[in-house]
Chain A
């Protein structure tokens, strides 16, 4: 599919329509894998994903499932079940959705999206994005009573220190035999290297695509890109990801070459920090009616993916997993943002103060201060939650956003 094909209404890139199929195939693939008696692991953001595909263990992402539930307006009911079971409303809403399912009607409930979440044989998680993730997994382990492995890491400032790299790799060397022993799989270095190549190829395509969004006008906005990111989270090492990202990248490239933007008369360019409000991705596209576009997101650039120098695969593998936004110190976040904002020619920045993802949200005031002082980019804070719609106040947020856009327009005149 290319940009020359007639565009369907609503998407800037026709290839974005493939995202729903990729997602559906992923979840159906997980169910099939389970039904065929092959091993399934529940994993979380920033686990060493390529290992799973290389070992034939299907990596199931409850976080993604929670985001899916949010996007179809079903998160609240599961959050409420978790709260009835004693899990505080202040906890990460991804975990509340998941625990509401696990401790409520169960993961096999046929009423669930994609017919349910395949049961895990193993749990693997990491402290890289946050500590609560590990705690959430402990609750899941309590329920399923299955083996669990946690990969630890301390926060980084780039370049990554050798001691941090060795800490990571030491644990990977413990994780591989753990998986082999518990799940009866075998690790082959060749298969792993092939998987890394696929992963790196996908990352390259994705980063190319993001870089194309530095163009004025931008070929694609945040709403669409948030819908496209999923394979970068869960399917690194899967050839389907390469196919999908190639379509996206090529189509965006054509748009840029032809000077076609997602917004006809692009006037204001915006950036976004934090996880999107999955139940309200419309928030991103609404601004397009006012000739503005969200064309940069820390979440899409620094949370998933990442290139690897495959001449030194293990070092690259470690660095890729440690070098993520949520694992950055505040200083590192500031430096990264300052660099990117100039590159993407942003006029304004929106910080989502996400009450669920505290690790993402802490330090945002420092970021806002830095971009205002150093490069004169003003910012807006909106308070909400990525999956629990009860934390979102439509009217005041809309007014805030409109006022912000008016101010940015004024600045440009």
Chain B
């Protein structure tokens, strides 16, 4: 999306994602929504909440003001309270209390979705793959399935988000395929289920506290273990990091992950994205990377 109006409020280095969301709101494209819920997922996104309150006056914004540090008894208590506060705000806003039975049903449904997504993920990781990365990411039935070939080199894709789906056919044209991922909007989003026994609100809170954390959260080790387990599961032969420009949290992680992976003999490639990945330069870099991975010339 071309950013014009949001330029008046957010500098370029706030990142394309925050700027595009604000742009859509300022253009009135989100006016159909009753409200927006914003988390602390980066400094730019946190500022988005303030800007919403100042400039998108007709729409209610909620802040899910949770700690980013997932350690210690105090942070756990504050995290829980922030989630309860958010629930309370939503109840006030909708005028309806959250029914435990309805929440249980919703948890069961989401868990079922998560389990199915995990199954699809494993079908994408087999050789030859039984579903395409597109199908997997869209979580659609395998209608219109892109044929998968065994000779494609399996690669893992890591990063916060993969908006530009043209990257996936491009990868295939270069002789590789995404066999696994640990995207914030992918497996990190659905990997952990909510405990179905017990009090449902507490179970949801616990799930968000202990799920595989996003890059803005500390400590980083659970995220690393997930990345590694996905690579091992899918037998990926290399990792492509797709990182949004100005996403500081991911930019700090990348060299650490890269060095750890290299020490295990796993080659890595970094692609800078601004929601789009299409360019001749990107294709050339991916092609070179795939050739190196295939040829085992990586050191």
Q: Which residues of A contact B (CB under 8 A)?
A: 85-88, 90-92, 95, 127, 130-132, 134-136, 138-139, 142, 150-152, 154-155, 163, 167, 170-171, 173-174, 329-331, 353, 355, 358-359, 361-366
Chain A residues whose C-beta falls within 8 Å of the C-beta of B251 in the assembled complex: 87-88, 90-91
Please report which residues of chain B, range 76-92, place their CB below 8 angstroms from some CB of chain A when the two chains form the complex.
77-78, 81-82
A361/B74 in contact, CB under 8 A: no
Beta-carbon nearest neighbor of B69 in chain A: A152
1/0 per residue, CB under 8 A from A, across B37-54: the answer is 000101110110011011
Chain A residues whose C-beta falls within 8 Å of the C-beta of B46 in the assembled complex: 155
The reply to whether the CB of B245 lies closer than 8 angstroms to some CB of chain A is yes
B47/A131 in contact, CB under 8 A: no
Please report which residues of chain B, range 50-84, place their CB below 8 angstroms from some CB of chain A when the two chains form the complex.
50-51, 53-54, 65, 67-69, 71-75, 77-78, 81-82
Selecting from B5-13, B109-117, B162-170, the interface stretch reads B5-13
A131/B14 in contact, CB under 8 A: no
- Docked complex Cα distance between A11 and B191 (Å): 61
10 A-B pairs with least C-beta separation: A170-B74, A86-B255, A135-B252, A330-B50, A152-B69, A152-B67, A132-B248, A88-B251, A362-B47, A359-B43
Shortest beta-carbon distance from A295 to chain B in Å:
26
Shortest beta-carbon distance from A179 to chain B in Å:
14
Given known contacts A134-B218, A163-B81, A362 and B11 CB-to-CB distance under 8 angstroms: yes
- Docked complex Cα distance between A91 and B219 (Å): 20
Chain A residues whose C-beta falls within 8 Å of the C-beta of B253 in the assembled complex: 135, 138
16 cross-chain CB contacts under 8 A: A86-B254, A90-B251, A91-B252, A135-B248, A142-B256, A150-B71, A152-B75, A167-B78, A170-B73, A174-B74, A329-B50, A331-B53, A358-B14, A358-B246, A359-B43, A365-B9
Chain A residues whose C-beta falls within 8 Å of the C-beta of B78 in the assembled complex: 152, 163, 167, 170
Given known contacts A171-B74, A358-B13, A359-B43, A139 and B256 CB-to-CB distance under 8 angstroms: yes
The reply to whether the CB of B216 lies closer than 8 angstroms to some CB of chain A is yes
A361/B11 in contact, CB under 8 A: yes
Shortest beta-carbon distance from A356 to chain B in Å:
9
B72/A135 in contact, CB under 8 A: no
- Docked complex Cα distance between A154 and B218 (Å): 15
B75/A131 in contact, CB under 8 A: no
- Docked complex Cα distance between A170 and B44 (Å): 27
The reply to whether the CB of B183 lies closer than 8 angstroms to some CB of chain A is no
10 extra interface residue pairs, beta carbon distance < 8 Å, beyond A132-B252, A363-B50: A88-B251, A132-B43, A132-B249, A135-B252, A152-B67, A174-B74, A330-B50, A353-B11, A358-B248, A359-B43
Number of A-B contacts (CB under 8 A): 123
- Docked complex Cα distance between A193 and B54 (Å): 41
- Docked complex Cα distance between A139 and B219 (Å): 11
Q: Give the contacting residue for A355; candidates B13, B53, B75, B220; CB below 8 A.
A: B13
B255/A361 in contact, CB under 8 A: no
- Docked complex Cα distance between A163 and B71 (Å): 18
- Docked complex Cα distance between A270 and B272 (Å): 39
Interface centre among A131, A154, A329, A353 (most CB of B within 10 A): A131
- Docked complex Cα distance between A132 and B44 (Å): 11
Beta-carbon nearest neighbor of A92 in chain B: B248
- Docked complex Cα distance between A127 and B75 (Å): 13
A167/B67 in contact, CB under 8 A: yes
Shortest beta-carbon distance from B76 to chain A in Å:
10
- Docked complex Cα distance between A85 and B68 (Å): 27
Residues of B in contact with A, size category: 35 or more
Shortest beta-carbon distance from B51 to chain A in Å:
7
The reply to whether the CB of B275 lies closer than 8 angstroms to some CB of chain A is no
Interface centre among B10, B14, B40, B47 (most CB of A within 10 A): B47
The reply to whether the CB of B258 lies closer than 8 angstroms to some CB of chain A is yes
Shortest beta-carbon distance from A181 to chain B in Å:
14
B254/A167 in contact, CB under 8 A: no
A131/B42 in contact, CB under 8 A: yes
Shortest beta-carbon distance from B192 to chain A in Å:
21
The reply to whether the CB of B270 lies closer than 8 angstroms to some CB of chain A is yes
Q: Give the contacting residue for A154; candidates B40, B248, B270; CB below 8 A.
A: B40
1/0 per residue, CB under 8 A from A, across B251-268: the answer is 111111010000000000
Please report which residues of chain B, range 103-127, place their CB below 8 angstroms from some CB of chain A when the two chains form the complex.
none
Chain A residues whose C-beta falls within 8 Å of the C-beta of B68 in the assembled complex: 127, 131, 134, 152
Shortest beta-carbon distance from A322 to chain B in Å:
13
B248/A131 in contact, CB under 8 A: yes
Please report which residues of chain B, range 232-258, place their CB below 8 angstroms from some CB of chain A when the two chains form the complex.
245-246, 248-249, 251-256, 258
Shortest beta-carbon distance from A32 to chain B in Å:
32
Shortest beta-carbon distance from B162 to chain A in Å:
19
- Docked complex Cα distance between A139 and B78 (Å): 26
Chain A residues whose C-beta falls within 8 Å of the C-beta of B10 in the assembled complex: 362, 365
- Docked complex Cα distance between A308 and B232 (Å): 54
Q: Give the contacting residue for A358; candidates B44, B77, B218, B220; CB below 8 A.
A: B44
Chain A residues whose C-beta falls within 8 Å of the C-beta of B219 in the assembled complex: 138
Shortest beta-carbon distance from A378 to chain B in Å:
16
Shortest beta-carbon distance from A364 to chain B in Å:
8
- Docked complex Cα distance between A362 and B42 (Å): 12
B248/A139 in contact, CB under 8 A: no
Beta-carbon nearest neighbor of A142 in chain B: B256
B256/A131 in contact, CB under 8 A: no
B51/A167 in contact, CB under 8 A: no
- Docked complex Cα distance between A366 and B52 (Å): 12
Q: Give the contacting residue for B69; candidates A87, A150, A363; CB below 8 A.
A: A150
Beta-carbon nearest neighbor of A103 in chain B: B255
Given known contacts A331-B53, A358-B44, A366-B51, A139 and B13 CB-to-CB distance under 8 angstroms: no
Shortest beta-carbon distance from B277 to chain A in Å:
17
Shortest beta-carbon distance from B4 to chain A in Å:
14
Q: Give the contacting residue for A362; candidates B43, B77, B245, B249; CB below 8 A.
A: B43
Shortest beta-carbon distance from B56 to chain A in Å:
13
B248/A90 in contact, CB under 8 A: yes
- Docked complex Cα distance between A170 and B68 (Å): 15
Interface centre among B44, B246, B252 (most CB of A within 10 A): B252
- Docked complex Cα distance between A150 and B11 (Å): 28
A331/B75 in contact, CB under 8 A: no
Chain A residues whose C-beta falls within 8 Å of the C-beta of B72 in the assembled complex: 170-171, 174
- Docked complex Cα distance between A66 and B77 (Å): 36
Chain B residues whose C-beta falls within 8 Å of the C-beta of A359 in the assembled complex: 43, 47
Shortest beta-carbon distance from B168 to chain A in Å:
25
Given known contacts A86-B270, A362-B10, A331 and B77 CB-to-CB distance under 8 angstroms: no
